[in-house]
Amino acid sequence: MAPRLLAAALLPAFLVGVGCATGPSGRTPVPPNSQSVQAELGERNIVEAGAEYSRQNAILLADSGDSEALRISPNYWRIRFALPEEGSGNILALNFDELAQRVTGARRLDITPIPITNSALRPSVASPATGGSGFR
């Protein structure tokens, strides 16, 4: 009688253990695709290398979350960092050679929009909106 009670007591624990080992879908867990993990790690390394370049050249960057890395070709990246001047629209654009592990070009870009004046919104004299034919 004791072995039956022991088996009955251990059966729920055994079933829970089997359920946890296989996961909710019945399949064993699979690690993420190594290619996507490598790409993410490569991008992170490129951004860190760009940030290090800016520190070595006394360029102050905005928060680390304000960066973007874009693979241009297999070993060539374009990295953009926001510069900390509030509302300035200035960014630091770096070209990075992953194979050589060095920055190949750097420049500051101003991406602030050009304000539109009222004269840009007015139709021309030849415009059909002002009674013209549209032709000059």
Residue 92 in domain: yes
CA distances from 83 to 43, 46, 62 (A): 20, 18, 5
Residue 86 in domain: yes
**Total domains, the chain:** 1
Residue 133 in domain: no
pLDDT tens, per residue, the chain with 136 residues: 566 665 666 666 666 665 555 556 667 776 666 666 666 667 888 889 988 998 899 888 887 567 888 998 888 999 998 888 755 678 889 999 988 989 999 998 887 666 666 655 565 665 555 555 555 5
Residue 71 in domain: yes
Residue 101: which CATH number?
3.10.450
**Residue 83 phi, psi dihedral angles, 5° rounding:** -95, 150
Write down the pTM of the prediction. 0.53
Residue 43 in domain: yes
Residue 66 in domain: yes
Residue span of the structural domain in which 69 resides: 36-110
Residue 105 in domain: yes
- Residues sharing a CB contact under 8 Å with residue 101, sequence separation 6 or more, in sequence order: 49
Residue 131 in domain: no
